Amino acid sequence: MDVINPATGELEETYDTETAADVDDALDDATETFDRWQTRPLRERERLLAATGEELRANDRSYAENITREMGKPISQALDEIEKCAWVCDHYAEHASTYLNPDGHPSPPGAVAKTAYEPLGPQLAVMPWNFPFWQVFRFAAPALTAGNVVVLKHASNVPGCAQAIENVFRRAGYPENAFQTLLIESTLVDDVLEDERVRGVTLTGSGPAGRAVASTAGHQLKKSVLELGGSDPFIVLDDADVEAAAETGASARMLNSGQSCIAAKRFLVHTDVYDAFLEQFVDDVEALTVGDPTNPDTDVGPLASSTFLEELDTQVEASLEAGGRAVTGGEPLDREGAYYPPTVLVDVPAGCPVDSQETFGPVAAVFEVEDETDALEKANETEFGLGASIWTDDRDRGRRLAREIDAGCVYVNQLVKSDPRVPFGGIKDSGFGRELSEAGIKEFVNRKTVWVE
């Protein structure tokens, strides 16, 4: 696996991939470790997770630099990502016992009926490159604490991050094979998932990858959780705080250089505030600093690879040819590296790529809508259903409209985000299942009914 620095296009390092025999050994190790790990007291597992948070914070600069080198995230945002991973460790270290405490149920006199939450076994995690630490930790922290063990197949462009994460858990004191990284090609994923030693799978990634994994997991009758793509609507109503909406909207679209499933992608703005919002939004977008991701002042770095740059540029070109108009940006920057400027498109025709597809980069499509009914119709016409954001000064109005949005999460007067305290996940082509909070830690457990007479 070659690591190409997306800011320079230069080869940073090459990693040897592992073979089917290596996978077999790893699954044997995982199975043996699980037999011992599941019997460790929950309080002990919580203490190890707390130590993991401490390890992340103690070496945050090193881990963040790894992220920046491999996928181009601006260093300040990479540091934030490491801190968020430490936060999810803190959360489950504090609350796992409460989440996993057996639930009581009504029963006749002399009987006690409860649901106990027990681990399933080795879990396969297939993870993406865009948040190379966070995506892993938001699954691994609850899964390990529930008593499972984890085998990670990470994206091929972030092998250094994958190995670093394994080292985080080892340094925190976990058993050697409680968390393992497999540097394997995607062609081996089905073989791993079909192995009887693997008891479930979680995937964050593209729709095609999700369908493939879900198909294999379904055939094997194994638990699966999928977090797939998104084309999140960002609705600005006529009574919204336009300045706040524009400022937050710029961050919601351009964070991580726009490479986020839950980034605001389609801005649906009421006609009464459309001009004011567009002007402010473009000003905020153009104020962002594009540049070297190792510079702490950089807001937008390169895309993760030249391939992703070409794919995004193709989507934008097709949308412009269909009649869209670029207010700012609209073509790759003439510089070394996979840089695409923050871009705002208007007059976007129905059915063109930036209207109907997920754009994974710093490109915002702004639509003018007549009223809230028009906004809801436009918001829900997508195949995706991950997140949505609604901006209004009337909270009751926001709550009412939130119930009419087809999405796994809706934020009123806030950008869509994943937070350890609340469940996260999508519907429709954005996947199924939930991560984080109590729902996340209970995805990969046996909800065992125990009746004692």
Question: What is the pLDDT at residue 65?
Answer: 98
Question: What is the pLDDT at residue 64?
Answer: 98
User: DSSP assignment of 397-450, as one string?
Assistant: HHHHHHTTS-SSEEEESS-----TTS-B--EETTEES-BSHHHHHTTTEEEEEE
- Residue 397 and residue 405 in contact, taking contact as beta carbons nearer than 8 Å: no
CATH architecture of 232-419: 3-Layer(aba) Sandwich (3.40)
Q: Phi-psi bin for 154: left (phi > 0), alpha (psi -120 to 50), beta?
A: beta
> How far apart, in whole angstroms, are the C-alpha atoms of residue 319 and residue 344?
12
Nearest to 92 by CA among 401, 439, 445: 439
**Residues in the chain, pLDDT under 50:** none
Question: What is the pLDDT at residue 52?
Answer: 98
CA distances, 189 to each of 85, 204, 338 (Å): 25, 14, 29
First to last CA, the chain: 58
Question: What is the pLDDT at residue 83?
Answer: 98
Question: What is the pLDDT at residue 432?
Answer: 98
Question: What is the pLDDT at residue 188?
Answer: 95
CATH superfamily of 2-228+430-452: Aldehyde Dehydrogenase; Chain A, domain 1 (3.40.605.10)
Per-residue tokens: 179: 């968390």
- Residue 214 and residue 226 in contact, taking contact as beta carbons nearer than 8 Å: yes
Q: Give the number of other CB atoms < 10 A from CB of residue 49.
A: 25
Residues linked to residue 266 through DSSP beta bridges, in sequence order = 233, 365
Taken in order 355, 358, 360, 364, the sign of the CA dihedral is positive
What does DSSP assign to residue 181?
E
> How far apart, in whole angstroms, are the C-alpha atoms of residue 192 and residue 122?
11
Question: What is the pLDDT at residue 349?
Answer: 97
Active site residues: 227, 261
**Own/partner pairs for 179-182, CB < 8 Å, 24+ apart?**
179/140, 179/144, 179/149, 179/150, 179/152, 180/26, 180/29, 180/30, 180/149, 180/150, 180/151, 180/152, 181/152, 181/154, 182/18, 182/22, 182/23, 182/26, 182/151, 182/152, 182/153
> How far apart, in whole angstroms, are the C-alpha atoms of residue 224 and residue 150?
14
Considering the entire predicted model, what is its pTM? Answer: 0.97
Amino acid found at 189: V
What does DSSP assign to residue 102?
P
Q: Give the number of other CB atoms < 10 A from CB of residue 442.
A: 16
Per-residue tokens: 209: 């990858």
CA distances, 81 to each of 87, 114, 130, 255, 379 (Å): 10, 38, 11, 12, 29
Encode 34-47: b = buried (16+ Cβ within 10 Å), e = exposed: beebbeeeeeebbe
> How far apart, in whole angstroms, are the C-alpha atoms of residue 405 and residue 407?
6
> How far apart, in whole angstroms, are the C-alpha atoms of residue 334 and residue 414?
34
**Own/partner pairs for 196-199, CB < 8 Å, 24+ apart?**
197/27, 197/28, 197/30, 197/31, 197/121, 197/122, 198/27, 198/121, 198/122, 198/123, 198/124, 198/151, 198/222, 199/120, 199/121, 199/122, 199/123, 199/148, 199/223, 199/444
What does DSSP assign to residue 186?
G
Q: Where are the domains of the chain?
A: 2-228+430-452, 232-419
